[in-house]
Amino acid sequence: MDLLQLDGQNDISTRPLVLIIDDSQLNQRILQALLADLADTLCAGDGESGLQLARSKRPDLILLDVEMPGMDGYAVCRALKDSELTAESSVIFVTSHNDTEHELAALSAGAVDFVSKPFNQAVVRARVQTHLTLQRQTQFLRGLASRDGLTGTYNRRYFDQQWQTEYRRHYRQGESLGLALIDIDYFKLVNDTQGHAAGDDVLRLVARCLIQSLRRPAEFIARYGGEEFAAVLPCCTAEEVLATGDWLRQQVQSLQLPHQSPTGLGVVSISVGVFAAKPSDALPAGAYLQAADHALYEAKQQGRNRVIA
């Protein structure tokens, strides 16, 4: 299984999706027919419903008319680019205006391209194809930039960004946010006794086990440091974070990866420090990391292969 796709994000194997926003049903039908073999298509007859569809369906590309009743195409394009939810969809204007002034207005509203009506069908297809390819490449690179090369988990950079985002979201919503810091027990001894390559294998296998053991879609694992991982657990109470931490500990132990460690278990184990609470001014985002790290230290002190809150 490809770890890059375990959580369904950055999935580049599906057909691209193109949204056509045009008040002319005839234009909608012509463009739909033209793109049928390149992408799945969706249509909206005005700016407002186009924005709604863009937010809910997250199309790769949007073909946007300029002249429409209500919001015009430029306003729609600016609204798309202003929202985090829709900013990543590429926009191509398809319009009866064919002067430089309109082309510049389209590009400065955030569009990647501009096609004049009446359009040449082969040219529209070629441009759509080019932008879909660029879009896929960007998505792929964005996926790589957020991953750890060895284990396929999210990396520290992604964790740092996403932790702030989750913290703010839970603060706004008054929900409890959970964090587990996970450290492999006596891992240096794996390297020392079995070699660095075997150590790398253990890291990969433990990471895969952690990813596969999470049960809710919004939860994720990041490699926090060398042999240390973090599990981000949205909407998770103090009781639940302990249960999840212990579940992860059991799952890693049951991998039965041989390890002659001082725990006497004979297999690789992890220690886990957990913390969960509702964000508040007295409890900033960094305080969760300190609390979980302190709990992890306690778990090590008390003999390892355990979870401490």
* Contacts with Mg ion, residue ranges (CB under 5 A): 23, 65, 67-68, 183-184, 187, 228
186 near ligand GH3, judged by CB under 6 A: yes
Measured CA to CA, the distance from residue 204 to residue 208 in angstroms comes to 6
Q: Are 204 and 151 in contact (CB under 8 A)?
A: yes
Measured CA to CA, the distance from residue 275 to residue 278 in angstroms comes to 10
227 near ligand GH3, judged by CB under 6 A: yes
188 near ligand GH3, judged by CB under 6 A: yes
Task: At 85, give phi and psi (nearest 5°).
Answer: -65, -30
Continuous segment of H or E residues that includes residue 25: helix 25-35
Nearest to 175 by CA among 282, 275, 277, 245: 277
Contacts with ligand GH3 in 10-39 (CB under 6 A)? none
How many other CB atoms are found less than 10 A from the CB of residue 236?
A: 26
Binds 191: which of ligand GH3, Mg ion, none (CB < 5-8 Å by kind): ligand GH3
Residue 42 vs 190, nearer CB to ligand GH3: 190
DSSP-assigned beta bridge partners for residue 95: 116
Binds 23: which of Mg ion, ligand GH3, none (CB < 5-8 Å by kind): Mg ion
Measured CA to CA, the distance from residue 202 to residue 134 in angstroms comes to 36
Residue 50 vs 245, nearer CB to ligand GH3: 245
Binds 113: which of ligand GH3, Mg ion, none (CB < 5-8 Å by kind): none
Among 183, 208, 233, 272, binds ligand GH3 (CB under 6 A): 183
- Tell me, what amino acid is at 4? L
The distance of closest approach from Cβ of residue 159 to ligand GH3 in the complex, given in angstroms and rounded to an integer, is 16
Q: Which residues contribute to the site for ligand GH3 (CB under 6 A)?
A: 150, 183-189, 191, 196, 199-200, 203, 226-227, 300, 304
